[in-house]
């Protein structure tokens, strides 16, 4: 099967220009094929941009075990609508993905359910180094250096040292210092008690993020272990991330770019996340760090909970918000506002995650690469509405936001899974191939 996409403005690795892209089955066969090249289907993309499909390297799709919030099918449909062609999913499901057997179970589950491409991290515990050593078919190891949803905290120095010393897969970590978080919580409990969701940002404060990120960087450097700092939330951490070459990379999420403590009044627990949202100054510093590639990756940490779960008083309300179907549009809107370039968005949402996680043939529009592609309309204005969300939890913290710049067609391994406002729920994506001998991210 051959598909020709004509007349799109293509964001290619080295330039953005009008080009035609010929797809054969699941691969990009040619950029600007000869006029005589035949195709079974021709897509006229006049007025549209073609970018590599978004790779979201941090989602929680709750499957198995917590499927009243999301599952691998609904999460993947939300991806398709959002222009996301590949997701990497976190291990805090039930059961947790902390063994080779659990990893393989999840891969099998996804093969039957996901309409986009998928990969799963293997989660670290204090005792599972042998499983981490044996794991294959995975982007890498996830460590919760700081508790969050699920019971996966690895806080003991000895255990962290052992994981870094005795494993070879790249590591990513949730960095919030548990000692600081517990002390902050205790101080509020001993004092005024919890008054509102705003307290969440006092419990999980700047120091908690900074201390844990500093600790993670120290471990990575000591052991020469590739390390990806997930969801950086403070300006303080940015300075720590400088000058480690390709060894240490970092990621920022849309909610840490666009929400801050002032939003609790309007949105309450809908913006309760771990790490917590911080200040407007942090938003600005994080955005600036993304613009100059100090933070290489943008991912969502899509972490759905039902509104019923969210609507209980702090601190019983769970942390997490859904974002996969809106993250690309949120960033394209920034391009339209002149805050960053389209090329920078593509680098952070498509190319860098592929390089960080050693994905073979993904993240670029180039001959021989996988035909994971997203057509975007930079002039389309749409309003995010809870009732339109495909995520099973059925809400968005951006409800009511009007954005300009949206995905209009998503192609996964050569097959259109989203077009004309509709997702193809019957199609299936494929397991991502990783080659950890590739060497990872480079500047
Ligand atoms: O707020 C969060 N929720 N942060 C995480 O790291 C985990 C996530 C979840 O799984 O709910």
pLDDT at 129: 97
* Nearest CA owner, ligand 1 atom 10: 149
Q: How far is the CA of 405 from the centre of ligand 1 (A)?
A: 28
Contact 345, 337 (CB under 8 A): no
* Burial annotation 125-155 (CB, 10 A radius, 16+ → b, else e): beebbebbeebeebbbbbbbbbbbbbebbbb
Q: Are residues 18 and 64 in the same domain?
A: no
Is the C-beta atom of 148 inside 6 A of ligand 1? yes
Q: Please tell me whether residues 336 and 372 are part of one structural domain.
A: no
Q: Are residues 317 and 405 in the same domain?
A: no
Q: Which two tokens stand for residue 334?
A: 């920034």
Q: Residue 400 falls within a domain, yes or no?
A: yes
Closest of 142, 152, 138 to residue 101, by C-alpha: 138
In a domain, 443, yes or no: no
In a domain, 430, yes or no: no
Asked if residue 375 and residue 256 are part of one domain, the reply reads: no
Residues 11 and 71 in one domain: no
Per-residue pLDDT, 443 = 59
Give the model's pLDDT for residue 71: 98
119 and 23, same structural domain? no
Q: 272 and 412 share a domain?
A: no
Å from CA of 63 to ligand 1 middle: 14
User: Residue 428's pLDDT is what?
Assistant: 98
Q: What's the domain count of the chain?
A: 2
Domain region containing 348: 54-356
CA distance 329 to 82: 8
Residues of the chain with pLDDT below 50 are none
Q: What share of the chain is helix, strand, coil (3-state, %, to 5)?
A: 30, 25, 45
93 within a domain of the structure (yes/no): yes
Domain assignment present for 440: no
Residue 97 domain-assigned (yes or no): yes
Q: Is 276 in the pocket of ligand 1 (CB under 6 A)?
A: no
Judge if the beta carbon of residue 273 lies within 6 A of ligand 1.
yes
CATH value at residue 233: 3.20.20.140
CB-ligand 1 contact for 60 (6 Å cutoff): yes
Residues 48-69 have pLDDT tens digits of: 999 999 999 999 999 999 999 9
Same structural domain for residues 162 and 241? yes
Domain-located, residue 434: no
- The two beta strands, 227-229 and 248-252, are parallel
414 in the same domain as 325: no
| 366 φψ region: left (φ > 0), alpha (ψ -120 to 50), beta (else) | beta
Active site residue 435: no
């Amino acid at each position: 099967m051959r598909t020709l996409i004509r007349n799109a403005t293509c964001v290619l690795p080295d330039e953005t220009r009008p080009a035609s892209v010929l797809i054969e089955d699941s691969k990009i066969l040619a950029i600007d094929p000869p006029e005589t090249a035949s195709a079974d289907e021709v897509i006229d993309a006049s007025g549209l941009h073609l970018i590599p499909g978004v790779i979201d390297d941090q989602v929680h799709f709750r499957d198995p075990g917590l499927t009243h919030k999301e599952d691998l099918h609904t999460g993947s449909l939300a991806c398709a609508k959002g222009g996301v062609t590949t997701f990497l999913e976190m291990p805090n499901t039930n059961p947790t993905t902390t063994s080779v057997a659990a990893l393989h179970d999840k891969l099998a589950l996804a093969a039957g359910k996901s309409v986009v491409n998928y990969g799963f991290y293997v989660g670290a515990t204090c005792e599972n180094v042998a499983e981490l050593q044996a794991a294959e078919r995975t982007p890498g190891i996830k460590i919760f250096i700081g508790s969050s949803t699920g019971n996966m905290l690895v806080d003991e120095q000895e255990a962290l040292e052992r994981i870094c010393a005795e494993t070879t897969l790249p590591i990513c970590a949730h960095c919030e210092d548990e000692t600081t978080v517990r002390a902050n919580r205790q101080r509020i409990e001993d004092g005024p008690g919890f008054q509102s969701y705003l307290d969440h940002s006092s419990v999980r404060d700047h120091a908690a993020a900074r201390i844990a990120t500093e600790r993670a960087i120290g471990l990575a450097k000591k052991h020469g272990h590739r390390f990806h700092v997930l969801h950086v939330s403070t300006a303080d951490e940015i300075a720590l991330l400088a000058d480690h070459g390709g060894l240490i990379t970092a990621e920022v999420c849309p909610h840490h770019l666009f929400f801050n403590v002032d939003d609790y009044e309007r949105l309450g627990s809908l913006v309760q996340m771990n790490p917590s949202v911080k200040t407007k100054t942090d938003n600005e510093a994080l955005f600036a760090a993304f613009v100059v590639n100090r933070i290489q990756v943008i991912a969502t940490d899509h972490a759905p909970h039902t509104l019923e779960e969210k609507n209980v008083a702090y601190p019983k309300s769970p942390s997490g918000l859904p974002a996969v179907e809106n993250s690309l549009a949120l960033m394209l809107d920034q391009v339209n506002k002149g805050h960053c370039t389209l090329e920078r968005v593509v680098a952070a949402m498509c190319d860098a995650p592929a390089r960080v996680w050693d994905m073979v043939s993904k993240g670029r529009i180039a001959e021989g690469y996988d035909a994971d592609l997203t057509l975007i309309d930079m002039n389309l204005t749409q309003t995010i509405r809870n009732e339109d969300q495909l995520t099973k939890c059925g809400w968005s913290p951006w409800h009511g936001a009007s954005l300009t710049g949206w995905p209009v067609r998503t192609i996964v391994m050569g097959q259109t899974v989203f077009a004309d406002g509709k997702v193809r729920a019957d199609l299936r994506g494929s397991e991502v191939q990783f080659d950890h001998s590739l060497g990872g991210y480079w500047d």
